[in-house]
Amino acid sequence: MSRELIFATNNLHKLEEIQSIIGDSFVLKSLQQIGFNEDIPETAPTLEGNALLKAQHIFNIYGKNCFADDTGLEIEALDGRPGVFSARYATDGHDFEANIDKVLYELTGKENRKARFRTVIALILDGSTYTFDGRVSGEIITERRGSAGFGYDPVFLPDGYSFTFAEMPLEEKNKISHRALAVNKLVGFLKSK
Ligand code: IMP
């Protein structure tokens, strides 16, 4: 029998993608589908903290199994920034272009351009809490390349590749991305349940 699992997101693309990997033992529900239409404040100082905060918030209200994710770009020479502030690094909104400009400006003249994307998923299942993380290392190049993807993709060159995330077909990015690695860990765990 299928078990219901809430994914604390309204990003239906992410939800469908994860649902297709999980198969039919769990049926995912978005926040909108369970009638939750507020913003959950992401006030924790870490990705783990924010993922846990979102999952806990929904569990406290609905008492149902759920999970949440949070992702950030961590740049070594910037002491891990933008990190938890990746979505709102330059402005309050999700201004991808301004965020990239700010990162490129802050890296001006720096030799070390190493960076990684990291996704953390927090799961609350049958009253216990679990976290899963996925990471992909690479470097921030000096100019944008490519038009696919979103966020910092045009300036992120994954290690071992000559294409930025924005120059890769989505299927290729999905094989190696931080999000895919974290989701695979989550799915592996859920399949064992
Ligand atoms: P979220 O936690 O998935 O909403 O991601 C937070 C922010 O990190 C996004 O607004 C993007 O700026 C950035 N980000 C997350 N995943 C990616 C990615 O795969 N490529 C580029 N940027 C990303």
Ligand 1 atom nearest residue 70's Cα: 2
What confidence tier does 177 reach under pLDDT thresholds 50, 70, 90?
very high
Query: How close is the Cα of 153 to the center of ligand 1, in Å?
Result: 9
pLDDT in tens, 131-145: 999 999 999 999 999
Residue nearest to atom 17 of ligand 1 (CA): 151
- Asked if residue 121 lies in contact with residue 183, where contact means CB atoms within 8 angstroms, the answer is yes
**pTM given for the model:** 0.94
Which amino acids bring their CB within 6 angstroms of ligand 1? 70-73, 86-87, 94, 99, 117, 149-153, 165, 177
Average pLDDT for 144-172: 95
- Asked if residue 158 lies in contact with residue 137, where contact means CB atoms within 8 angstroms, the answer is yes
- pLDDT in the model for residue 170: 86
Query: How close is the Cα of 81 to the center of ligand 1, in Å?
Result: 13
Share of the chain above pLDDT 70, in %: 100
Calpha distance 153→146 (Å, rounded): 8
- pLDDT in the model for residue 115: 98
**Which two structure tokens, joined as six digits, stand for 133?**
């993380």
pLDDT in tens, 16-68: 888 888 888 899 999 999 999 998 988 999 999 999 999 999 999 999 999 99
Average pLDDT for 154-169: 97
In the chain, what's the furthest Cα-to-Cα distance? 58
Is the backbone peptide bond immediately before 82 cis, with ω within 30 degrees of 0? yes
Question: Looking at residue 119, what DSSP letter applies?
Answer: E
Query: How close is the Cα of 136 to the center of ligand 1, in Å?
Result: 13
- Assess whether 133 carries a catalytic annotation: no
Q: Check whether 171 has a pLDDT greater than 90.
A: no
- pLDDT in the model for residue 153: 96
Give the dihedral sign, CA 116/184/20/16: negative
- pLDDT in the model for residue 2: 87
- Other Cβ atoms within 10 Å of 97 Cβ, number: 10
In order of 54, 86, 98, 99, the CA distances from 92 in angstroms are 19, 11, 11, 10
Question: Looking at residue 86, what DSSP letter applies?
Answer: G
Calpha distance 135→120 (Å, rounded): 9
